[in-house]
């Protein structure tokens, strides 16, 4: 090698090494020496001014920077709930910073030290907000979270708030599903990305006037670019059949795009065993008695797919698209019913029996699409939201019903009957909505908006009978029912805070135009009406720990499309369901007066007056010996009572949730099979739900939930429902720094949640014993992966937990 070339190589060698750059590594842990995955690690110039590079720690808490130049640097490490770590150093070689310990962020108040934490429950002027994002409940599914939400009662396959079924919203978007479909959707959705549950007992003018209370489920949003997801599954074993649910959720965010997709499936079989006793009456004397043993097995497998895509054009404009798809295929939606009825005469001597076999298959396709455009104006808080929605609902059902009639001690039927029913319903829903928010100043806000919706429904009912072995259409019990509804709505509201007072008031006006057309009878019913729905909320903070509030609003319940269909859907030879095209909308006036003391304990007095409620009432026809399930308006319903709720800490590792109510419920209705006389059914009732939350083990990774529910006898229309109670246990263990959890539980340990119903007035006498698969053994798991710890870096620190301290250290 020439000497000059060798000399050049010697001079260039350090430069070549330098251009390869240095590597900086380190490991971030908490004070328990556990890794803090997905911490933000940012490298600045030594003066802490110029940004150099940023990264996040991996699942072991390790970070790495490559190709660093010879220089002085400042490194800043942060994570929600911890104090920021900052250090300055010089890099002249590859450097390992070793273990870096993040300290939990604390706040000192009046000599008492607490961990800064968002409160679990917060009372707003028009709603109660239950924050679950940082609680152990986030490892459950959404339905489990609702079971623990103050003011919400989940039992017997229903979700109720103050004895009424709430309307479910997700991020202020209404969920257009039936109550049963909603339950399966929520059970199949992980609560991992749920930020809070808003319990809106009396919804303000912004929400549709249709329906009662609102449950608004608010989800968290990733604001750190990256991907995270979760998978879950659970298994329930009842007395007869197993039930499964499994699903997965995925989040992905770039600088402009935020996407979410969730899929769940819930294959299951459910068994119901009823015993029904009917005394048929004539001139106040029993003429016959029917005793029915009813057994039903229903197989379902609902597929739910939910997708949300949000794209931010810039800081002021964004576009969102969401879908909610429910698919219940025919091959996995089957029902088998076997009922045996013994007919006794007035002397209670067996006269005859009849055995009915019903095989039914269903199919449901429910496709919902929503597009939202959000524009934020220059003034902070001022925004315009334009939303369009479409739902395409397609349901079809086919049943084959065979009944054999037998004399006592004779195994050969003296008569057989067979009929088949095809029914379908297709609904197309279109809505357009505009919402505007304007902050007037720091303490006042104005809201206004408008909405138009159009509903087209086609219901087909075709019944087939067999004459001389030939299948023919039963024209007397077949029909096509067309329904169209157009609704125009506008609203405005004003809210203001001053001193210790908060006020919110608004009004919503809706014009509704309805046309119902029974094609076979050529009967067309047309209605239109205008209704005003005012709302008013007032809250006064007596001091830091106590407040008192009052609210009022008016609501409407429009009849469902199937409730307006006048034709008869036969379950068997001796019972059928029918609607009424002349049903009126139900109008409710609701008043609430509440008092919260010590931040955690709330008492509410309420009064609700329901005008023209629509109920499905069972009537026995004593002349024809037929049961009629009739959708009809009853005259009035009145309910008032006292509720108590709390979600609070009793000890360091023991929290409780209590929901209790004592209430009076009165129904007045016209007895259609008893001379149309006005009948009143009323009762004082009580229910209570107590949940204990115990945190176990040193690292708090094991929790035990013990829930006890008691419901006293209640009335539902003309029915008296017996008392029931049940104990639920659930043990949950979190693993791998809260990235996974497994659970084991027992629902209704002592199998005491079955109930009886009694309908007894005038010439009506029906008693029903209902036995369901209430006692369930449960197993579940949940696993989170990716950037699951980086949901929200707003770092909101709310010290309202100090109200619980009472001079104690936690």
- Dump pLDDT digits (tens) for 313-330: 998 999 999 999 999 999
What tens digit of pLDDT does each residue of 373-425 get?
Answer: 999 998 888 999 999 999 999 999 999 999 999 999 899 999 999 999 999 99
**pLDDT in the model for residue 138:** 67
Q: How distant, in Å, are the alpha carbons of 145, 153, 322 from that of 190?
A: 10, 19, 18
> How far apart are the C-alpha atoms of 444 and 461, rounded to whole Å?
54
Can you tell me the distance from the alpha carbon of 563 to that of 578, in angstroms, rounded to the nearest whole number?
7
Average pLDDT, the chain: 85
Q: Which is it for the CA torsion 160, 163, 165, 167, positive or negative?
A: negative
pLDDT at residue 796 above 60? no
Q: Which of 115-119, 643-647, 676-680, 763-767 has the lowest mean pLDDT?
A: 115-119
User: What Cα–Cα distance (Å) separates residue 440 from each residue in 445, 494, 497, 556, 707?
Assistant: 5, 10, 12, 31, 45
What are phi and psi for residue 114, nearest 5 degrees?
A: -135, 160
Q: pLDDT band for position 105 (50/70/90)?
A: low
Q: How much is the average pLDDT of 455-462?
A: 94
Summarize pLDDT for 187-228 with one digit per residue, the tens.
Answer: 777 777 788 888 898 899 888 888 888 889 887 765 556 788
| 3-state SS, one letter per residue, for 702-733 | EEEEEEEEEECCEEECCEEECCEEEEEEEEEE
Sheet bearing 62-68, strands edge to edge:
62-68, 22-29, 95-101
Q: Give the best-scoring range by mean pLDDT among 353-362, 553-562, 716-725.
A: 353-362
Q: Say yes or no to pLDDT of 1 above 60.
A: no
Q: Which residue has the tokens 């309910």?
A: 639
**What CA–CA distance (Å, rounded) separates 154 from 217?**
16
Q: What's the mean pLDDT in 16-28?
A: 71
pLDDT computed for residue 677 by the predictor: 81
> Helix or strand or coil: residue 189?
coil
Nearest to 149 by CA among 77, 214, 66: 214
Distance in angstroms (rounded) separating the CA atoms of residues 332 and 337: 16
- 159 touches 149 (CB < 8 A): no
Please report the pLDDT score of residue 342 as a whole number: 96
Per the CB < 8 A criterion, the answer to whether 787 and 226 are in contact is yes
The pLDDT value given to residue 595: 96
245-250 LR contacts (CB < 8 Å, sep 24+): 245/141, 245/187, 245/188, 247/188, 247/189, 247/190, 247/304, 249/189, 249/190, 249/192, 249/193
Cα gap 692→182, rounded to integer Å:
26
Which pLDDT belongs to residue 167?
87
Which pTM does this prediction carry?
0.78
Which pLDDT band, with edges at 50, 70 and 90, does 115 fall under?
very low
Encoding tokens for residue 427?
A: 């609904």
Query: Worst-scoring range by mean pLDDT, 475-484, 612-621, 787-796?
Result: 787-796
**Alpha-carbon gap, residue 45 to 90, rounded angstroms:** 10
Q: Would you state the pLDDT for residue 35?
A: 79
Q: Is pLDDT of 661 > 60? A: yes
CA dihedral angle for residue 150, residue 753, residue 770, residue 716, rounded to 10 degrees: -40
pLDDT band (50, 70, 90) for residue 560: confident
Residue 19 reports pLDDT greater than 60: no
* Residues 152/128, Cβ–Cβ less than 8 Å: no
Quick one: pLDDT at residue 112?
35
Tokens matching residue 289:
């008695």
In degrees rounded to 5, what are phi and psi of residue 612? 60, 50
| Per-residue CA distances from 344 to 189, 290, 306, 327, 759 (Å) | 50, 6, 53, 45, 20
Instruction: Compute the distance between CA of residue 768 and CA of residue 628 in angstroms, rounded to an integer.
Output: 15
pLDDT tens track for 75-93: 988 876 678 888 888 888 8
C-alpha closest to that of 545 among 806, 201, 809: 806
**C-alpha distance across the termini of the chain, in Å:** 75
Cα–Cα distance measured from residue 421 to residue 572, given in angstroms and rounded to the nearest whole number: 11
Find how far residue 611's CA is from the centre of its chain: 27
pLDDT band at residue 4 under the 50/70/90 scheme = very low
Distance CA 699, CA 776 (A): 30
The closest alpha carbon to 258, from 290, 227, 215, belongs to 227
Q: Does residue 15 register a pLDDT over 60?
A: no
Q: In what order do the strands lie in the sheet containing 51-56? A: 51-56, 40-45, 71-78, 85-91
For the stretch 237-277, pLDDT in tens is: 999 999 999 999 888 888 888 898 999 999 999 999 999 99
Give the least confident one: 113-117, 336-340, 438-442, 689-693: 113-117
- Indicate the pLDDT class of residue 157, thresholds 50, 70 and 90: low
Q: Report the alpha-carbon distance of residue 477 to residue 480 in Å, rounded.
A: 10
Angle at 114 between CA 113 and CA 120, to 5 degrees: 160
pLDDT of residue 573: 92
- pLDDT digit string, tens, across residues 724-733: 999 999 999 9
Each residue's pLDDT tens digit, 596-636: 998 889 999 999 999 998 888 888 999 889 999 998 888 88
pLDDT attached to residue 227: 82
Asked whether 155 and 161 are in contact (CB, 8 A), the reply is no
Whether 133 has a pLDDT exceeding 80, the answer reads no
One DSSP character per residue, 638-700 reads EEEEEEEEEEEEEETTEEEEEEEEEEEEEEEEEETTTTTEEEEEEEEEEEEEEEEEEEESTTS
Q: Give the H or E element holding residue 67.
A: strand 62-68
Q: Mind listing the pLDDT tens digit for each residue in 42-70? A: 888 877 667 788 787 876 788 988 888 88
CA 452 → CA 210, 372, 429, distances in Å?
A: 14, 15, 11
Instruction: Provide the pLDDT for residue 487.
Output: 96
Token pair of 118 as six digits: 């968002």
pLDDT at 360 over 70: yes
Q: Which residues of 107-134 are buried (b: 16+ CB within 10 A; e: fewer)?
A: eeeeeeebebbbbbbebebbbbbbbbbe
């Amino acid at each position: 090698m020439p000497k000059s070339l060798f000399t050049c190589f010697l001079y260039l060698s350090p430069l070549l090494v330098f251009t390869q750059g240095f590597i900086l590594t380190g490991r971030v842990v908490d004070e328990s020496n556990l890794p803090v995955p997905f911490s933000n690690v940012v490298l600045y110039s030594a003066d802490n001014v110029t940004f150099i590079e940023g990264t996040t720690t991996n699942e072991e808490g390790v970070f790495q920077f490559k190709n660093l130049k010879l220089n002085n640097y400042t490194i800043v490490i942060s994570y929600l709930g911890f104090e920021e770590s900052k250090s300055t150093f010089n890099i002249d070689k590859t450097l390992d910073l070793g273990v870096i310990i993040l300290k939990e962020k604390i706040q000192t108040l009046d000599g008492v030290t607490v961990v800064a934490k968002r409160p679990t429950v917060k009372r707003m002027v028009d709603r109660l907000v239950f924050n679950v994002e940082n609680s152990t409940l986030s490892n459950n599914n959404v339905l489990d979270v609702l079971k623990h939400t103050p003011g919400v009662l989940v039992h017997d396959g229903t979700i109720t708030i103050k004895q009424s079924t709430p309307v479910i919203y997700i991020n202020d978007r209404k969920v257009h599903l039936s109550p049963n479909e909603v339950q399966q959707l929520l059970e199949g959705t992980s609560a991992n990305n749920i930020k809070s549950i808003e319990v809106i007992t009396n919804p303000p003018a912004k929400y549709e006037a249709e329906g009662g209370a609102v449950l608004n489920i608010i989800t968290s949003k990733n604001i750190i670019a990256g991907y995270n997801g979760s998978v879950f599954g659970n298994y329930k074993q009842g007395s007869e059949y197993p039930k499964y649910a499994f699903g997965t959720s995925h989040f992905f965010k770039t600088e402009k795009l935020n996407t979410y997709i969730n899929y769940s499936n819930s294959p299951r079989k459910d068994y119901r065993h009823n015993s029904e006793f009917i005394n048929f009456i004539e001139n106040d004397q029993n003429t016959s008695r029917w005793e029915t043993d009813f057994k039903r097995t229903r197989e379902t497998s609902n597929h739910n797919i939910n997708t949300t895509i949000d794209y931010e054009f810039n800081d002021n404009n964004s576009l969102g698209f969401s879908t909610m798809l429910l698919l219940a295929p025919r091959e996995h939606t089957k029902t088998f019913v076997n009922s045996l009825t013994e007919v006794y005469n007035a002397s209670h001597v067996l006269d005859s029996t009849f055995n009915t076999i019903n095989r039914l298959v269903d199919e449901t396709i429910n496709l919902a699409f929503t597009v939202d455009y959000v524009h934020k104006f220059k003034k902070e808080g001022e925004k315009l939201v334009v939303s369009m929605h479409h739902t395409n609902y397609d349901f079809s059902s086919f049943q084959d019903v065979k009944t054999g009639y037998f004399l006592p001690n004779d195994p050969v039927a003296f008569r057989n009957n067979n009929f088949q029913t095809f029914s379908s319903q297709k609904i197309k829903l279109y809505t357009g909505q505009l919402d505007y928010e304007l902050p007037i100043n720091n303490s006042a806000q104005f809201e206004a908006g408008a909405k138009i919706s159009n509903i087209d429904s086609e219901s087909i009912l075709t019944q087939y009978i067999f004459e001389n072995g030939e299948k023919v259409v039963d024209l007397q019990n077949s029909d096509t029912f067309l329904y169209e509804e157009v609704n125009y709505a506008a609203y405005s509201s004003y809210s203001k805070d001053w001193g210790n007072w908060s006020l919110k008031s608004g009004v919503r006006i809706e014009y509704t135009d309805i046309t119902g057309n029974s094609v076979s009878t050529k009967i067309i019913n047309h209605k239109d009406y205008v209704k005003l729905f005012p709302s008013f909320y007032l809250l006064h903070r007596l001091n830091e720990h106590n407040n008192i509030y009052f609210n009022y609003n008016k609501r409407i319940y429009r009849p469902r499309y199937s409730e307006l269909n006048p034709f008869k859907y036969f379950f068997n030879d001796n019972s059928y369901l029918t609607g009424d095209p002349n049903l009126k909308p139900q109008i409710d006036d609701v008043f609430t007066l509440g008092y919260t003391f010590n931040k955690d304990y709330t008492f509410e007095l309420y009064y609700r007056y329901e005008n023209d409620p629509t109920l499905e009432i069972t009537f026995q026809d004593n002349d024809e010996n037929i049961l009629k399930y009739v959708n009809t308006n009853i005259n009035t319903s009145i309910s008032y009572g006292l509720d108590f709720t709390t979600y609070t800490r009793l000890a360091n590792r023991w929290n409780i949730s209590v929901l209790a109510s004592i209430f009076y419920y009165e129904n007045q209705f016209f007895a259609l099979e008893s001379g149309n006389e006005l009948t009143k059914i009323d009762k004082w009732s009580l229910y209570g739900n107590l949940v204990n939350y115990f945190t176990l083990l040193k690292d708090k990774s094991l929790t035990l939930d013990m829930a006890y529910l008691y419901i006293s006898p209640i009335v539902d229309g003309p029915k008296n429902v017996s008392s029931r109670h049940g104990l639920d246990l659930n043990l949950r263990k979190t693993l791998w720094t809260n990235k996974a959890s497994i659970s084991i539980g027992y629902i209704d340990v002592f199998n005491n949640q079955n109930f009886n119903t009694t309908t007894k007035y005038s010439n009506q006498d029906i008693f029903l014993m209902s036995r369901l698969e209430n006692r369930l053994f449960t197993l579940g798991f949940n696993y989170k992966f990716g950037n699951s710890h980086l949901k929200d870096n707003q770092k909101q620190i709310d010290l309202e937990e100090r109200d619980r301290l009472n001079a104690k250290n936690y």
